[in-house]
Every structure is written in structure tokens, then in C-alpha cells.
């Protein structure tokens, strides 16, 4: 059966997570918490490799410790908006710029104008060189180019409000990352 013969789409609910191989899970956890506001969450203890799971904004980020230096991601030297990236929408791009500047994070900006609507974008790298975009893309209407209906996103698993542990410094991140529930 070829891909063009399928009459019905897969029974998908929503995007669950993105996964990144990291040189240092500890450094990446700190970055995603402090820069993007992600929260460290429990992950299955049956995993036999190191990593961490984070969650916020309805999406998970799974960080995996690379197994060797040769497997480590290579940090790009140039920020390229046309490179692979994940994108987050924001309500105040000026505030995002100011915060990135306060944290000393290099970024570039771009502007897209379509149908009289201006979209502001900024791009930067995480500690492993993965590209991140912050934009106000919610200004653009989603206009399907086919008659196939769009599915409404479904909700993720319920979030338990029980606080496992506050992670406030690289030292405490280190101790949290080494616990059994952090093993991927």
C-alpha cells in the first residue's frame, strides 16, 4: 500500500515532545528551565540511560545524554533561521529580547510581512547548538490549502501539582539528575 492510497489520516492527538541529544544534560536542563521556563518532570525509572524530561506550554522536551564525544552534537558557528528548529509563540517579543540580552544569549531577528500582518521572530541556540525560534506567529491565521479539516489539539496527560523538588542551581540540578527517576 503506497502513501497516496491512504484515505484516512493516522489517529493522532497532538505533538507530545521533542528529543535532543546533549553534551551535558545538566547544562541543558538549566538552560531550558532558566531561559524558556520549562519544569523538570518525573520520567520512567526503567530507562537505562541518562537524561531528563521537562514540560511546559503543553509540550515536553526530552534530553538525552550523548554516549560519547563523537556522538555529541556539533554547535553551529552561525545562527541560521533556515536550519532545523523548534519554535515558541510569545506575547511580548521586546521582553524576550531584553531577557536574552540580560542573560548574554546571542540571537538574530527577522521580520515577515504577509497580507499586512507583521510577524517578529528571533533565533538563538541552546547549549548544544539546537536552534530555537521565539515569534509572535499567532498573528497569522491558519488557512488550510485543502478541504481536509484540521484537528483540534487534544489535552496532554493531567499535570500533577505535587512539587518533587525545587531546582535552583547547577549543584542541585546535578543531584536531581543523578536520581533514579531521571534515568532514561
Domains of the chain: 15-142+160-182 (3.10.180.10)
Catalytic member of 101, 102, 106, 133: 133
Q: Is 133 annotated as catalytic?
A: yes
Least confident range from 16-20, 74-78, 138-142, 156-160: namely 156-160
Q: Which residue has the higher pLDDT, 168 or 158?
A: 158
Q: Under a CB-based contact definition with an 8 Å cutoff, are residues 7 and 107 in contact?
A: no
Return d(Cα 43, Cα 164) in angstroms, integer. 12
> What is this structure's pTM?
0.78
C-alpha cell at position 82: 533556515
pLDDT given at position 130:
94
Mean pLDDT on 34-56: 96
For residue 166, pLDDT over 50 is answered with no
pLDDT, mean over the chain: 84
* 129 Rama sector, left if φ>0, alpha if ψ -120 to 50, beta otherwise: left
Instruction: Please write the tens of the pLDDT for every residue from 64-103.
Output: 999 887 777 777 779 999 999 999 999 999 999 999 999 9
Amino acid at each position: 500500500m503506497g502513501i497516496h492510497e491512504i484515505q484516512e489520516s493516522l489517529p493522532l492527538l497532538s505533538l507530545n515532545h521533542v528529543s535532543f541529544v546533549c553534551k551535558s544534560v545538566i547544562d541543558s536542563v538549566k538552560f531550558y528551565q532558566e531561559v524558556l521556563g520549562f519544569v523538570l518532570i518525573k520520567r520512567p525509572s526503567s530507562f537505562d540511560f541518562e537524561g531528563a524530561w521537562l514540560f511546559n506550554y503543553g509540550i515536553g522536551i526530552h534530553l538525552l545524554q550523548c554516549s560519547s564525544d563523537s556522538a555529541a552534537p556539533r554547535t553551529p558557528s552561525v545562527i541560521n533561521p533556515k536550519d532545523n528548529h523548534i519554535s515558541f509563540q510569545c506575547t511580548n517579543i521586546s521582553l524576550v529580547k531584553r531577557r536574552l540580552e540580560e542573560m548574554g544569549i546571542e540571537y538574530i531577528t527577522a521580520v515577515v510581512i504577509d497580507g499586512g500582518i507583521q510577524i517578529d521572530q528571533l533565533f538563538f541556540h541552546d547549549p548544544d547548538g539546537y536552534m530555537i525560534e521565539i515569534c509572535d506567529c499567532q498573528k497569522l491565521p491558519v488557512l488550510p490549502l485543502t478541504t481536509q479539516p484540521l484537528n483540534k489539539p487534544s489535552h496532554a496527560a493531567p499535570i500533577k501539582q505535587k512539587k518533587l523538588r525545587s531546582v535552583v542551581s547547577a549543584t542541585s540540578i546535578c543531584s536531581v539528575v543523578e536520581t533514579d527517576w531521571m534515568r532514561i
